[in-house]
Amino acid sequence: MQFVASEHPHRRLNPLTGQWVLVCPHRTQRPWSGQQEKPQKNELPDFDPSNPLCPGVTRPNGVETPAYKSTYVFENDFPALVEVVPVPPNSDDPLFQIAPARGNCRVMCFHPKSNLTLPTMSAEEIGVVIDEWISQFNELSAKYAWVQIFENKGATMGCSNPHPHCQIWSCSFLPTEPQLKQERLRSYYTTNERPMLSDYVERELQRQERIVIENPDWLVVVPFWATWPFETMLISRNNNKRINDLTLEQRQNLAVTIKELTTKYDNLFQCSFPYSMGWHGAPTGPEHAHASSAHWTLHAIYYPPLLRSATVRKFMVGFELLAMAQRDLTPEQAAQRLREVDGKCHYLEK
C-alpha cells in the first residue's frame, strides 16, 4: 500500500522547535452532524461608556483614558512583569533553579471605535497600527532582550475586552519559544549558511501546496508542521530580521496582507474569527546588540482554535497535553480552504 499524506497517519517535524506533530487525516472522514450557524452579526457599539479602553472612560485604577483619535498605548494596569523587582537568591540545587524576571507590559489600542477589528479596519488604519508597533519596538528593544508584540482576539482566546487592542510585553530574558528558535535557526545557519526561513519560503514557493497569500514582500502559508487547524505563518520575503527593519513599502504591503488574511479568517466561518498572533524576530537589547542576527527572518504566527464552525473549536487536551500535538485536517487542506475563501470583501459588507 502506497503512503498518501492526505489519507494516512504520519508525523511532521517543526524545524523551528524540534518538536513533532501527529497528523491523522483519516479522522476527517468521521461523520459530523453538528449544526451550521448563521453568519455572526457585529452588535457591539462603536462607543461603550463602561469599556475602559474607550476614549474618555475611566479605567478601574482611576486613570481616565484620553480622547484618542488613532492608536493609544499605555502601561498595563495589571502587568505580569515589572521593571523594579528584587533579584532572587542563587540556588546550587539543580532541581530548584530560579532566575530574575524583569520587564514591562503595555496595552495598545488599535482604534477608538470598539466595534472594529483588524479585518474591518482599512489598510491605511492597519498601517498606523504597524507604525506604532515599530515605534514601541524601537523604544523597548534598546533596553530589553525580547519585545513580544501579540494580539489575543476573541473571548475564546482569553481576551477580556472586545475593544481592538494588542499587548506588548518586554522581557529582560529570552523566553522559551524564542530561545528554542534562536538555537534551531542558528544551528541551521551554521550548517547551511542560509537562514532557515528564507530556504523555507523558497521551498513553499516551489511546491505551491500550502500558500494562502503571496506578494512581493510577504508570504502567508499554513506551515508544513502546523499544529492548529488553520494556523498560518506570515513571513518576510526580504529577509528582514526585526519589525523595525521594514521599509515604507514593506509596511504598506504588510497592512494589505494582514487585512486580507484576517478577512479570510472571518469569512471562513462568517464570524469574528478568534486567534492569538504575535511577531518573532531577532533578539534585542544590550546583550544581543552586537551579536549576529543573520540566522533570523522576521515572521508572525497566527494560532486560531476554530475547527469546523464558529462554535466548534480544537482543544489541546489528553494525548496532546500528555504526549504530542495532533491534528486531523492536513495543512494542505487547510491552506486550500483559506486560499479559496474571499480575502477582499468582508462578509459583513456583503
pLDDT attached to residue 35: 52
- Structure-block grid coordinates of residue 39: 453568519
Q: How far apart are CA 9 and CA 159, in angstroms?
A: 34
Mean pLDDT of 157-166: 89
* Angstrom distances, CA of residue 275 to CA of 107, 169, 205: 17, 18, 25
SS3 30: coil
**Range list of β-strands (E), 217-259:** 218-221, 232-236
Mean pLDDT of 141-156: 95
What one-character DSSP code corresponds to residue 36? P
**Top-confidence residue, 28 or 35:** 28
pLDDT attached to residue 42: 78
Q: How far apart are CA 169 and CA 149, in angstroms?
A: 7
How does pLDDT run across 190-204, given as a tens digit for each residue? 999 999 999 999 999
CB of 262 closer than 8 Å to CB of 272? no
Mean pLDDT of 85-90: 95
How does pLDDT run across 91-104, given as a tens digit for each residue? 999 999 999 999 99
- Give catalytic residue positions: 165
Residue that is written with C-alpha cell 475547527 in the block: 307
When pLDDT is cut at 50, 70 and 90, the band that residue 157 belongs to is confident
Residue that is written with C-alpha cell 541551521 in the block: 188
Residue that is written with C-alpha cell 459530523 in the block: 32
pLDDT attached to residue 234: 98
How does pLDDT run across 272-298, given as a tens digit for each residue? 999 999 999 999 999 998 899 999 999
Q: Where are the alpha helices (DSSP H) in the chain?
A: 123-141, 176-192, 196-207, 248-269, 285-288, 319-322, 331-340
The neighbouring-strand residues paired with 279 are 300
Specify the pTM.
Answer: 0.95
